[in-house]
């Protein structure tokens, strides 16, 4: 059951960074030609054929879940170093998965690296726009890290952020 | 000295007396002395044999690996790229894969058996896999036997070099049971048929060798036993003398007395000298196999094993790369002996004889393929390890190099430079590609020749960076969100500024002035005058402070010309600078090593991922948008002819005075690439950032694959439409607009004249 919850958790994380929700602002109209002449337009190369936008990438969730399973079993045996290595491996596959960064932050805190835990939680938040629960969780992690760093003012500010998000 | 005389005389008298009366030659004493000396000498030799053979027998160079290819459904990889990687790993393309290291390909479907390998987090077993690709992705990965989906599989990593001293021996240590039985039997049949019967030396072997050689009319066998050959290689110099022959015989007997046949055989298989690779001596059958066939010994065909066994007799005389005919004849002779000794059947013999030599072109793991990247790895290692440990302890270094990206970088650089060499024979180039999220260096080129280990321009060339520095100026402004935003108007009109008594009059590349422009336009079109004016408003110190925060620790020119890039940085430093933008405002230290294992595969050290936020989310998002506008409508817009605008590529061109340097730094959603082109003597070479470096970048990304770059908007930022004519906030009443993000709590432009009262805030399509 716990594993199922973890799996769902990560899948949701993958959803929150799915490309459809973060499409770029589409520039409207074709008249948006440059207002100004460019300086360094190459004149000596023939125009290349247009490269079509790549097809939507297939889901890579299966690989990430397999790696999180490994991370869990390392964790169960108290091997934090390998747990972190497995999460880093997952991050190479899904570098924009906010939940993976959050999980790495939690691991670093347990490894006794509060400075990195704080920064990794901030990184997770940078990728967690719209996910208030994850943001609140990250701010709580930041608070714990800052308490460990004797930064009580920073810790209280982080706790305040967490509460503000938790309430909505 | 008169007193001494009588004594001497008396002694002489005594001696004379003894000689004359009961003198006997001291046979016993001499024999005893001889015995003591001989026993002592043998004991000394025995000790030498013991000391060398026990404990650590060989010092092993550190072995360096590329990143292993991780296979999973959804991986961005073209089928041809996959095939190229398998080929580099020495996988054999066959009709049906049956053994590890074999693969069969049917268009975009692959069936392969991976090799087992020991990584940091344990062993990866050999697996039978079925992989099917679309044109750009790995779609399904299955177990070939069970048919079920495989979530993740890791191939063995490509060995990209070793760290050794000049003239050092190199080898891959194998246990006897890892060596194919066929090879061992062939070796014994050819080199020492009585190996299991003799005690180290074999008079019969000498006689038989003589007989065989006379019969066949040439030297087929030598009279030395395997033990003697090992002793010769192991303990003695190459000098030919009777004394050495004597030592060799004694030590052989001693070795046989102390150690079992299998131990001696195993040492022999690892010790024997087989080839020379520049400064590196190739020893042992394990490395010999990799060196010639780029394949582990266990995967060799009978003919390939016979070739290796044949080379023992004369590694340079039978060098199959230099003397293929001679080597082939020798191989066939070995095959014939194998057939006569019933090691292989007549049918196998006939089949093996028909086989080609099967050599790989370039020797594997020779430090020749990626010397510039290895240079970076070495520099990182030297910070943490002693040079002596690196060359002797057999460390296994797992690096971040991505062969696919590396090949693409080298190819693109060569393709751009080669046609220009006629006019610009001195033209050089360098490049670096790093993973934006974790700072791993994926590829590095130190010059236009990929295999050339010389001046490493990617790390050591210090060059004017030109406009590449400008984002630091604009970021400094955007961080003052109450004062500046992307639509803020700055003046690109004529500017004069007195700098330490001299008049500074910056000019634009097109020698024109553009009047009032929006802040993002000034960056996108790389206007020098507007940038200089903005920089002067901010102050040199503020910009230097920004650069320091963005991990630029090189000395910086403390004058306003800094705003236009009149300061020297290396491509490496530029990469570190732009990683801050590519990663959404986080400083990510560059890393070229992931892990280090010791010779036994035990973890020694891991280089962990670390990040640090150095730009607040709002300004980080804004500067990213500005760098996207460089490609959308600025100096990088030629890229739109090659890549879809929906990819959201971002980057910046850089050109220095009189076209001495051509720079481009650009990133997609996954990786950052920095390219430099120029001449080592800093003379003009006729390329701008756009016509030189950016073309290399485009070729690189077209080959390596592009990932769309769509960072999430922070909560503190909102999108607005801006009227391009008036730089005011626009609504549906305006028809020439651009979408720009603004820090919600910061300054915003006034309403545009064309706005008729509709909603000003702009909602991206997906939110509507």
Summarised one tens digit per residue, pLDDT across range B592-621 is: 999 999 988 889 999 999 999 999 999 999
Closest among A13, A20, A128, A59 to B646, alpha carbons compared: A20
Task: Name the band, by pLDDT with cuts 50, 70 and 90, for residue B12.
Answer: low
B169 carries an active-site annotation: no
pLDDT of residue B468: 97
B114 carries an active-site annotation: no
Reduced DSSP (H G I as helix, E B as strand, rest coil) percent helix, strand, coil of chain A, to 5:
65, 0, 35
A21:B655 CB<8 A: no
Give the C-alpha separation, A164 to B715, whole Å.
14
Task: Name the band, by pLDDT with cuts 50, 70 and 90, for residue B683.
Answer: very high
pLDDT of residue B139: 95
pLDDT of residue B161: 85
Give the C-alpha separation, B704 to B434, whole Å.
13
Q: What is the mean pLDDT of residues B10-22?
A: 53
B284-299 residue pLDDT tens? 999 999 889 888 999 9
B239-278 residue pLDDT tens? 666 777 778 888 888 888 888 999 999 999 998 999 988 7
pLDDT of residue B44: 86
Closest among A12, A56, A60, A19 to B710, alpha carbons compared: A19
Token couple for B134: 């679309």
pLDDT of residue B85: 93
Which positions in chain B touch A96 (Cβ < 8 Å)?
A: 437, 669
Distances in whole angstroms, Cα of residue B119 to Cα of each of A71, B96, B377, B399: 15, 28, 18, 12
Given a cut of 70, whether residue B515 has pLDDT beyond it is yes
Token couple for B272: 């024997």
Distances in whole angstroms, Cα of residue B728 to Cα of each of B507, B629, B721, B737: 27, 18, 9, 10
pLDDT of residue A30: 30
Given a cut of 50, whether residue B564 has pLDDT beyond it is yes
Q: Does A30 touch chain B (CB under 8 A)?
A: no
Could you say which of B603, B648, B738 has the minimum Cβ distance to residue A24? B648
Token couple for B139: 């779609």
User: How far is the alpha carbon of B739 from chain A, nearest alpha carbon, in Å?
Assistant: 7
pLDDT of residue B222: 61
pTM of the model: 0.84
pLDDT of residue A22: 32
Nearest CA in chain A to B618: A126
Task: Name the band, by pLDDT with cuts 50, 70 and 90, for residue A13.
Answer: very low
Using DSSP's 3-state secondary structure scheme, residue B688 falls into coil
pLDDT of residue B472: 98
Q: What is the mean pLDDT of residues B515-541?
A: 97
Cα end-to-end distance, chain B, whole Å: 124
Interface of A with B in 79-108 (CB under 8 A): 81-82, 84-86, 88-89, 91-93, 95-96, 104
The answer to whether B500 and B559 are in contact (CB under 8 A) is yes
pLDDT of residue B354: 94
Which positions in chain A touch B765 (Cβ < 8 Å)?
A: 23, 25-26
Which positions in chain A touch B72 (Cβ < 8 Å)?
A: 60, 62-63, 93
pLDDT of residue B150: 96
CB-count exposure of residue B101 (10 Å: 0-12, 13-18, 19+): buried
Given a cut of 60, whether residue B458 has pLDDT beyond it is yes
Nearest CA in chain B to A24: B710
Which positions in chain B touch A24 (Cβ < 8 Å)?
A: 628, 646, 648, 710, 764
Q: Is the four-CA dihedral B24, B25, B27, B30 of positive or negative sign?
A: positive
Q: Does A21 touch chain B (CB under 8 A)?
A: yes
Given a cut of 70, whether residue B622 has pLDDT beyond it is yes
User: Which residue matches tokens 């087929």?
Assistant: B220
Q: Which of B102, B169, B191, B299 is catalytic?
A: B191
pLDDT of residue B209: 66
Could you say which of A74, A91, A129 has the minimum Cβ distance to residue B712? A129
Q: What value does the CA radius of gyration of chain A take, rounded to a whole number of Å?
A: 21
Task: Name the band, by pLDDT with cuts 50, 70 and 90, for residue A51.
Answer: very low
CB-count exposure of residue B316 (10 Å: 0-12, 13-18, 19+): exposed
- Calculate the CA dihedral of residues B18, B24, B27, B33 and round it to 10 degrees: -10
B75:A60 CB<8 A: yes
B704-754 residue pLDDT tens? 999 988 888 998 999 999 999 999 999 888 989 999 999 999 999 999 999
Could you say which of A24, A42, A85 has the minimum Cβ distance to residue B606? A85
Closest among B713, B708, B704 to B670, alpha carbons compared: B708
pLDDT of residue A43: 33
Q: Which of B436, B467, B570, B662 is catalytic?
A: B467
pLDDT of residue B533: 97
The answer to whether A136 and A145 are in contact (CB under 8 A) is no
ipTM value > 0.90: no
CB-count exposure of residue A8 (10 Å: 0-12, 13-18, 19+): exposed
Token couple for B743: 């820090």
Task: Name the band, by pLDDT with cuts 50, 70 and 90, for residue A12.
Answer: very low
């Amino acid at each position: 059951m716990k594993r199922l919850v973890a799996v769902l958790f990560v899948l949701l994380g993958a959803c929150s960074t799915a490309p459809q929700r973060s499409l770029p602002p589409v520039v409207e109209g074709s008249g948006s030609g440059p207002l100004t002449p460019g300086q360094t337009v190459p004149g000596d190369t023939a125009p290349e054929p247009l490269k079509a936008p790549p097809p939507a990438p297939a889901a890579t969730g299966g690989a990430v879940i397999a790696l999180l399973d490994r991370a869990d079993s390392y964790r169960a045996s108290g091997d934090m170093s390998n747990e972190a290595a497995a999460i880093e491996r997952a991050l190479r596959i899904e570098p924009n998965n906010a939940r993976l960064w959050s999980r790495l932050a939690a691991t670093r805190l347990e490894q006794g690296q509060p400075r990195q835990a704080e920064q990794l939680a901030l990184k997770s938040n940078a990728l967690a726009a719209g996910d208030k629960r994850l943001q609140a969780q990250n701010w709580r992690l930041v608070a714990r890290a800052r308490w460990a760093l004797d930064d009580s003012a920073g810790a209280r500010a982080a706790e305040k952020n967490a509460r503000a998000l938790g309430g909505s | 000295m008169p007193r001494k005389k009588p004594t001497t005389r008396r002694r002489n008298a005594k001696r004379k007396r003894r000689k004359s009366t009961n003198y006997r030659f001291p046979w016993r004493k001499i024999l005893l002395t001889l015995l003591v000396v001989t026993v002592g000498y043998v004991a000394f030799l025995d000790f030498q044999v013991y000391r060398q053979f026990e404990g650590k027998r060989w010092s092993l160079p550190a072995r360096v690996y590329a990143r292993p290819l991780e296979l999973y459904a959804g991986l961005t990889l073209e089928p041809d790229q996959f095939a190229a990687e398998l080929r580099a790993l020495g996988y054999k393309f066959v009709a049906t894969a049956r053994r590890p290291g074999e693969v069969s390909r049917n268009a975009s479907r692959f069936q392969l058996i991976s090799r087992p390998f020991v990584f940091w987090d344990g062993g990866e077993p050999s697996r039978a896999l079925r992989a099917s690709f679309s044109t750009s992705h790995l779609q399904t990965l299955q177990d070939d036997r069970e048919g079920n989906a495989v979530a993740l599989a890791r191939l063995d990593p490509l060995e990209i070099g070793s760290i050794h001293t000049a003239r050092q021996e190199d080898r891959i240590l194998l246990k006897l049971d890892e060596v194919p039985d066929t090879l061992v039997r062939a070796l014994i049949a050819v080199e020492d048929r009585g190996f299991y019967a003799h005690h180290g030396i074999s008079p019969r072997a000498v006689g038989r060798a003589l007989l065989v050689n006379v019969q066949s009319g040439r030297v087929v066998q030598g009279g030395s036993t395997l033990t003697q050959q090992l002793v010769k290689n192991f303990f003695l110099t190459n000098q030919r003398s009777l004394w050495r022959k004597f030592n060799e015989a004694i030590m052989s007997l001693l070795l046989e007395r102390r150690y079992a046949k299998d131990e001696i055989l195993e040492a022999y298989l690892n010790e024997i000298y087989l080839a020379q690779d520049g400064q590196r001596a190739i020893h042992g059958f394990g490395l010999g196999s990799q060196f010639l066939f780029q394949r582990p010994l266990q995967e060799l065909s009978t003919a390939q094993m016979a070739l290796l066994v044949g080379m023992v007799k004369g590694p340079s005389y039978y060098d199959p790369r230099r003397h293929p005919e001679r080597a082939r004849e020798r191989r066939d002779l070995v095959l014939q002996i194998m057939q006569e000794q019933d090691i292989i059947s007549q049918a196998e013999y006939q089949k093996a004889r028909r086989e080609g030599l099967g050599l790989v072109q370039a020797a594997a793991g020779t430090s020749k393929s990626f010397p510039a990247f290895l240079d970076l790895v070495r520099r990182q290692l030297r910070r943490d390890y002693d040079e002596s440990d690196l060359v002797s302890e057999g460390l296994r270094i797992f690096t971040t190099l991505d062969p696919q990206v590396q090949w693409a970088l080298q190819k693109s650089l060569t393709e751009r430079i080669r046609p220009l060499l006629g006019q610009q024979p001195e033209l050089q180039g360098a490049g670096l590609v790093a993973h934006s999220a974790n700072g791993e260096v994926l590829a590095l080129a130190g010059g236009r020749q990929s295999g050339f280990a010389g001046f490493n321009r990617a790390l050591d060339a210090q060059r004017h960076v030109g406009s590449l520095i400008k984002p630091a100026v604009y970021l400094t402004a955007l961080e003052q969100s109450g004062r500046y935003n992307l639509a803020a108007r700055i003046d690109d009109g004529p500017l004069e500024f007195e700098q330490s008594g001299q008049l500074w009059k910056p000019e634009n590349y097109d020698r024109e002035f553009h009047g009032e422009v929006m802040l993002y336009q000034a960056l996108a079109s790389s206007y020098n005058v507007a940038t200089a004016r903005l920089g002067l408003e901010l102050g040199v110190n503020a910009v230097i402070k920004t650069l320091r925060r963005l991990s630029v620790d090189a000395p910086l020119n403390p004058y306003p010309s800094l705003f236009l890039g009149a300061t020297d940085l290396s491509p490496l430093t530029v990469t570190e600078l732009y990683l801050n933008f590519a990663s959404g405002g986080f400083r990510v230290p560059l890393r070229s090593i992931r892990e280090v294992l010791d010779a036994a595969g035990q973890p020694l050290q891991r280089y962990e991922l670390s990040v640090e936020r150095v730009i607040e989310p709002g300004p980080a998002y804004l500067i990213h948008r500005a760098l996207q506008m460089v490609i959308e409508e600025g100096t990088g817009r030629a890229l739109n002819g090659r890549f879809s605008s929906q990819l959201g590529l971002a980057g910046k061109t850089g050109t220095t005075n009189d076209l001495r340097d051509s720079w481009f730094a650009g990133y997609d959603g996954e990786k950052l690439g920095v390219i430099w082109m120029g001449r080592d003597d800093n003379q003009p070479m006729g390329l701008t950032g756009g016509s030189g470096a950016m073309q290399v970048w485009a070729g690189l990304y077209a080959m390596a694959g592009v990932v769309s770059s769509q960072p999430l908007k922070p909560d503190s930022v909102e999108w607005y439409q801006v009227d391009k004519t008036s730089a005011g906030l626009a609504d549906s009443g305006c028809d020439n607009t651009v979408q720009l993000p603004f820090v919600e709590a910061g300054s915003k432009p006034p309403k545009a004249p064309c706005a008729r009262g509709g909603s000003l805030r702009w909602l991206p399509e997906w939110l509507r």
